[in-house]
């Protein structure tokens, strides 16, 4: 008997009919002789609806109360799914994140998991139950309800799989695996049979929404066997593992893009030691993550530098920079928000020269300017103007030989342009 953790996202349990389909899928797994622990997200747009309601009452709601509100979406899902499984004649028991033993740091909105004590999960399994756990949530040591940030249900599933030593952690979504790029943008995207943890982590961090980056980190650290597959069909999914076999002739495994990008430029800063440390130290104190940083040449003892951040952090970042102007004088500051970051990822890039040059050439032939570049051993990222993103992604996909003659499956039916 194998122990499976099965995670279903909001689109998979978006209404009662989909909830019934998920319940049948879980019972099928149990009928195969496996024990099942199921992690569930909030139904459909529930989380967004809750945020909208909060903003109607208070434009800046307290973080603690937002966590109290946000965790209710998953609690609705787990109770309804448990009822659906009972309706099929099986035993099921639902648990909130804290009932399942998740202990987190005392941070509201994006807490990290400190520990998991899954005694109640083990006990319920031993009693023959299918166990349903609310994703995205936990409790701090001082008894405060916390959330793990958007996409945190993936992290819940993988962390729980590690804690209970599950044989497999399956992430069910509306696509039947991990594709070479978003199949909604490129209809002939290639489904990957397997991908390495490192490649998947890069893709997740660079904007690929199929898995949450922290979930991949947990899987890599704990060697959790991770499979991404569709909740709408029984096709084989994509296995995320330590080392993935490289398909002959394929150097780039995937193309990711992130529309949530802003660039801030600080002009005319004194070229003295410690200036950059002070600027980015203040941004870090404000919990603003900085991505790509580029400094220009020095003229007359002054330098210009630019960096990218999340679009949602633009106003806060500009406020921080304005606040430190008396300590770090500068001539001017500018910001741009009509940008995207497009990235190519592949373990084979390290041993193949010319991969980046091809990317730059493809983008230029699309008539798009490159604003910033960042590289590592297995990825190249370009910040570009956002006006022709789909054309750029499609051109790169073709240039690196990733096109197939089959159409990707999203939610069951074929993708349509």
In a domain, 319, yes or no: no
Q: How far is CA 278 from CA 208, 288, 328, in A?
A: 32, 14, 8
**How many C-beta atoms lie closer than 10 Å to residue 322's C-beta?**
10
Cα(208)–Cα(179) distance, rounded to whole angstroms? 10
Structure tokens that stand for 29 in this block? 């797994």
Closest Cα to residue 114, out of 91, 144, 88?
144
Record the pTM. 0.85
Question: Along the 417 residues of the chain, how does pLDDT read in single tens digits?
Answer: 799 999 999 888 999 999 999 999 999 999 999 999 999 999 988 989 999 999 999 999 999 999 999 999 999 999 999 999 999 999 999 999 999 999 999 999 989 999 999 999 999 999 999 999 999 999 999 999 999 987 799 999 999 999 999 999 999 988 889 999 998 899 899 999 999 999 999 998 888 878 888 899 999 999 999 999 988 888 899 999 987 666 656 789 999 999 999 999 999 998 888 888 999 999 999 989 999 999 887 778 888 999 999 999 999 999 999 999 988 899 999 999 989 999 999 988 877 889 999 999 999 999 999 999 999 889 999 999 988 899 999 999 999 999 998 776 676 543 332
User: Locate tokens 């005694």: which residue?
Assistant: 119
At residue 11, the pLDDT reads 86
At residue 31, the pLDDT reads 96
At residue 243, the pLDDT reads 79
At residue 409, the pLDDT reads 65
- CA torsion sign for 388, 391, 395, 398 is positive
Structure tokens that stand for 106 in this block? 């005392």
In a domain, 250, yes or no: no
At residue 411, the pLDDT reads 65
Structure tokens that stand for 250 in this block? 């394929």
Cα-only R_g, the chain: 23
In a domain, 241, yes or no: no
Residue 88 sits in which domain range?
Answer: 2-173
In a domain, 348, yes or no: no
Cα(28)–Cα(9) distance, rounded to whole angstroms? 19
Cα(407)–Cα(417) distance, rounded to whole angstroms? 11
Pick out the residues of the known binding site for substrate: 47, 74
In a domain, 143, yes or no: yes
Pick out the residues of the known binding site for ATP: 7-10, 173-174, 179, 184
Task: Give the CATH number for residue 167.
Answer: 3.40.1160.10
Closest Cα to residue 383, out of 296, 312, 315, 292?
292
Closest Cα to residue 381, out of 391, 394, 370, 365?
370
Pick out the residues of the known binding site: 7-10, 47, 74, 173-174, 179, 184
Structure tokens that stand for 351 in this block? 């041993």
Q: 33, 147 in Cβ contact below 8 A?
A: no
Cα(71)–Cα(134) distance, rounded to whole angstroms? 8
In a domain, 68, yes or no: yes
At residue 3, the pLDDT reads 97
In a domain, 72, yes or no: yes
What is the total count of domains within the chain?
1
At residue 413, the pLDDT reads 42
In a domain, 198, yes or no: no
Cα(116)–Cα(70) distance, rounded to whole angstroms? 21
């Amino acid at each position: 008997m194998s122990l499976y953790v099965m995670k279903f996202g909001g689109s998979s349990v978006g209404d009662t009919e989909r909830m019934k389909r998920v319940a049948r899928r879980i019972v099928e797994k149990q009928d195969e002789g496996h024990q099942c622990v199921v992690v569930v997200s909030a139904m459909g747009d529930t989380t967004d609806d809750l945020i909208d309601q909060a903003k109607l009452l208070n434009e800046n709601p307290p973080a603690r109360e937002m966590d109290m509100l946000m965790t209710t979406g998953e609690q609705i899902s787990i109770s309804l799914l448990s009822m659906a499984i009972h309706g099929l004649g099986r035993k099921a028991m639902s648990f909130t994140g804290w009932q399942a033993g998740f202990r987190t740091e005392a941070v509201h909105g994006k807490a990290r998991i400190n520990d998991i004590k899954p005694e109640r999960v083990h006990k319920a399994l031993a009693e023959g139950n299918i166990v349903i756990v609310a994703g995205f949530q936990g409790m701090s040591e001082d008894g405060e309800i916390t959330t793990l940030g958007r996409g945190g249900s993936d992290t819940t599933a993988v962390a729980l799989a590690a804690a209970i030593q599950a044989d497999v952690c399956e992430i069910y979504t509306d696509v039947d695996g991990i594709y070479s790029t978003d199949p909604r943008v490129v209809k002939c995207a290639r489904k990957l049979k397997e991908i390495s943890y490192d490649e998947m982590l890069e893709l997740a961090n660079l904007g690929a929404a199929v898995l949450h980056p922290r979930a991949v980190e947990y899987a890599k650290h704990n060697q959790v066997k991770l499979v991404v597959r569709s909740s709408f069909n029984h096709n084989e999914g994509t296995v995320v593992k330590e080392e993935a076999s490289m398909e002959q002739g394929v150097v780039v495994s995937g193309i990711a893009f992130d529309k949530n990008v802003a660039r801030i430029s600080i002009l005319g800063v004194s070229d003295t030691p410690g200036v950059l440390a002070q600027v980015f130290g203040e941004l870090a104190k404000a919990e603003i993550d900085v991505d790509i940083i580029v400094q220009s040449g020095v003229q007359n003892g002054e330098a210009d530098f630019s960096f990218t951040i999340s679009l949602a952090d633009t106003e806060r970042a500009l406020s921080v920079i304005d606040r430190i102007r008396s300590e770090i004088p500068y001539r001017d500051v500018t910001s741009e928000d009509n940008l995207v970051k497009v990235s190519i990822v592949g373990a084979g890039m390290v041993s193949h020269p010319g991969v980046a040059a091809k990317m730059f050439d493809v983008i230029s032939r699309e008539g798009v300017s490159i604003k910033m570049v960042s590289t590592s051993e297995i990825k190249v990222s370009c910040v570009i103007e956002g006006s022709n993103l789909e054309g750029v992604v499609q051109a790169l996909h073709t240039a690196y030989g990733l096109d197939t003659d089959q159409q990707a499956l999203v939610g069951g039916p074929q993708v349509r342009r």
